[in-house]
Amino acid sequence: MSVQFGKWNFDGKPIDTDYLKTVNSTLVPYGPDSSNSYSNGGIAILYRAFHTVTESRREKQPFISSSGLVFTWDGRLDNRVDLITLLHDTRTLIPNPTDVAIVGTAYDRWGTECLSKLVGDWALSIWNPKTRSLILAKDPLGTRHLYYALDRDQITWSTVLEPLVLHTGRTFSLCEEYVAGWVSFFPAPHLTPYLGVHSLPPSSFALVEPRRTHISTYWDFNPTKAIRYRTDPEYEEHFRTVFAEAVSRRLRADGPVLAELSGGMDSSSIVCVADRLGSSGALPIQRIATISILDNAEPNWKEEPYIKAIEEKRGQAGFHIDADSEHPFRFQMESVDIGATPDSVCTQSEVASAYRAHVADLGARVVLAGLGGDEVTGGIPTFVPLLAELLTQGRFHAFAGHLFAIALRTRRPLIQLLFETLRAFLPPSISAGSKLRAPAPWLSTSFVCRHRKPLTGYAKRLHIFGPQPTFQSALETLQGLRRQLACITLPNNPPYEVRYPFLDRTLLEFLASVPPDQLVRPGERRSLMRRALRGIVPNEILSRKRKAYVARRPVIAIREDWAFLEQLCQAMVTSTAIVNADIFRHYLERARDGHPVPIVSLTRTIALEVWARQIHKLNVLGSNRKNSGMMASSQFDGRLRPSDSRFLS
């Protein structure tokens, strides 16, 4: 998880050295191991290293290839062995090369076609001094950030957003679409909170030249790829193979690895498979430790028995963080940890501080997380895509059988299930939609009218022709995960690299290629994963119906922190243009009194307001017609502190 920054003046004017020093100081917490730079003819590139694998300690970046191209690479190359084999006849590739050396050699040989061959989590910039052109590229899922700001005279890019907004000497207009996405289902992955500052889309590369910029997609999932076996055990064996590979790729580290353990299927499966790989001698793992957050005050979130089941299986207790007395809404407005996005508000709670302290104490630079497991393995409780697929295929007998089975299992009328299936083919603008996708009621009417698409999760209808409905649904699910990844703040205190085994490209390709009834069956979500991991993950975890969602803790926190939240509603920075402060206060009162409210949108709106007040101090956002409400003066002096990210995801 190293970081990079670059600036290119198209007219060849040298980059100011004092400016580069300021930027470099901003990058130090993210890349504390070493610093290198490249400068030539109006372009300057900074690289700060944060080593997580042995090979990276031999790197010198920016890396200059044999053809004279300048590469800056922030990533982990999972298929390095395969690429070395493909490039075995290339004389410039030395034995046991670094990842960036492999990438440089691959690009010299295949050009931008090599991007689709790079499996892993990565962000890449390539400067060509001969053609005076720049390429920016990012991995297919968007697990790494790569931001850029482009105008007529220059381009600036960075894997950290702060240098692009804090050191420019100018103000930015607020991107309302980003805000709309933040308070609902996360913004589109190409957006940032600032107009004029962009995030490179996943699975894309940008070719930048002085007079033109073009963004292209270099890879996507293949809708025609199909994996068909005769028996269930064959699918189960294939799943075990690709999932073990996904975990092993993310265990590549030269220090201890910390795995999040929540008691659910996702984190438990990662830990159990990682232990299995370690005990088999398949990987030279130094140590795998676990970290868990316990909240015994939450009656619907009793995870401790499941966590202990994993700890007993592995014969090792993990580190537990007690969240019983957490006060997630006492924000500290004078915090020095002011970030460039609203997600930065989620990183300063007591729980988050205890988490970071343990990472530092352990000396871990790699953390494994279960993000995406529920979504990609069939955990989302809907049978609409499968029913829609049976309809489009004309398999009416199978459709009727599944319809009856689902109706019996869910105790819902047949006509209701049929209507939901048919409605999925209608445009979202004319279909009734789900109440879960309704915009938060405290958002201003004009704001909702301008940004209905992000406020409803960029919902799309299913198409009768083209890829099968289950494939279309899987892609939409992945796009939602890409939006979530784009909002995650890069940790820097201490820095560590978060890796997501369930977002492995090979695993995702497999899951998108198997028959949908392997993943979901009537009465059994995540069917393939449950069957495949029997004997590896304890049965009490595999047999869990669904991990409970935390609902009571935010309500208690609102009651306990009411005085602070009441002050927050006074002279809201986000009022007028975005939030109706009176209606927002009304819903806070309803939550305090125990009435049902859209709690995720509520807590994200709180985070947005706190972030807006913090960023306002830095004079980053200028006043204009669209964000004049954000710039309203505020006399808030309450003692508030950022909230726990558990309530914002």
CATH number, domain of 297, equals 3.40.50.620
626 pLDDT band, cuts 50/70/90, is very low
Is pLDDT larger for residue 172 or for residue 633? 172
pLDDT on residue 644: 35
What is the per-residue pLDDT for 227? 96
Look at residues 305, 295, 301, 268 and name the one whose alpha carbon lies nearest to residue 350: 295
Band (pLDDT 50/70/90 cuts) for residue 298 is low
pLDDT of 364-397, one tens digit each?
999 999 999 999 998 876 788 989 999 999 999 9
- Asked if pLDDT for residue 64 goes beyond 70, the answer is yes
pLDDT at 347 over 90: no
Instruction: Report the distance separating Cα 475 and Cα 466, nearest Å.
Output: 13
pLDDT of residue 633: 33
Clarify whether residues 184 and 156 are in a common domain.
Answer: yes
Instruction: Look at residue 226 and tell me if it is in a domain.
Output: no
- Kindly report the CATH number assigned to the domain that includes residue 116: 3.60.20.10
What residues are paired with 339 via a beta bridge?
Answer: none
pLDDT band at 631 (very low <50, low <70, confident <90, very high): very low
Length of the chain, in residues: 649
What was the pLDDT predicted at 170?
A: 84
Give me the number of domains the chain comprises. Answer: 4
Rama region for 637: left / alpha / beta (φ>0; ψ in -120 to 50; rest) = alpha
- Residue of 473 and 435 predicted with greater confidence: 473
Question: Above 90 in pLDDT, residue 6?
Answer: yes
Instruction: Identify whether 169 is part of a domain.
Output: yes
Q: How confident is the model at residue 330 (pLDDT cuts 50, 70, 90)?
A: low
Confidence at 637, pLDDT banded by 50, 70, 90: very low
The three-state secondary structure class of 452 is: helix
178 and 258 housed in the same domain: no
Q: Do 160 and 3 touch, CB atoms closer than 8 A? A: yes
- Regarding predicted confidence, which is higher, 163 or 167? 163
SS3 label, residue 283 = coil
- Is the distance from CB of 547 to CB of 267 less than 8 angstroms? no
The span from the CA of 134 to the CA of 127, in Å, is: 5
**Residue 71: inside a domain:** yes
Q: Which residue has the higher pLDDT, 17 or 626?
A: 17
pLDDT for residue 326: 67
Q: How far apart are CA 499 and CA 365, in angstroms?
A: 11
How high is the pLDDT of residue 331? 55
Residue 395 sits in the same domain as residue 428? yes
Q: How large is the average pLDDT for residues 547-556?
A: 64
Judgement on whether residues 209 and 277 belong to the same structural domain of the protein: no
Within-domain flag for 224: no
User: What is the rounded distance in angstroms from the CA atom of residue 484 to the CA atom of residue 189?
Assistant: 8
pLDDT score of 286: 67
C-alpha span between 486 and 475 (Å, rounded) = 16
121 and 11 in a common domain? yes
Domain-embedded: residue 225: no
Predicted pLDDT of residue 560: 80
Q: For 242-273, what is each residue's pLDDT tens digit? A: 999 999 999 999 899 999 999 899 999 999 99
Last residue of a domain, one of 481, 514, 529: 481
- Our measurement of the distance from residue 60's CA atom to the centroid of its chain's CA atoms, rounded to an integer in Å, reads 28
Give the pLDDT score at 547: 57
165 and 291 fall within a common domain: no
Residues spanned by the domain of 471: 386-481
Which of 22-36, 63-77, 487-501, 612-626 bottoms out in mean pLDDT, i.e. has the lowest?
612-626
Average pLDDT in the chain: 88
Determine the pLDDT at residue 94: 75
Average pLDDT over residues 13-37: 95
Residues 65 and 105 in one domain: yes
Cβ density class 345-365: b for 16+ within 10 Å, e for less: bbbbbbbbebbbebbeebebb
Q: In this structure, are 98 and 209 located in the same domain?
A: yes
pLDDT at 431 over 80: no
In a domain, 222, yes or no: no
Do 68 and 28 belong together in one domain? yes
> What residues form DSSP beta bridges with 258?
289, 367
Whether 547 maps to a domain, the answer reads no
Q: How confident is the model at residue 641 (pLDDT cuts 50, 70, 90)?
A: very low
pLDDT digits (tens, 9 = 90+) for 112-155: 999 999 999 999 999 999 999 999 999 999 999 999 999 999 99
Distance of CA 436 to the CA centre of its chain: 21
- CA-CA-CA-CA torsion for 247, 353, 24, 607, nearest 10 degrees? 100
Q: Is residue 398 part of a domain?
A: yes
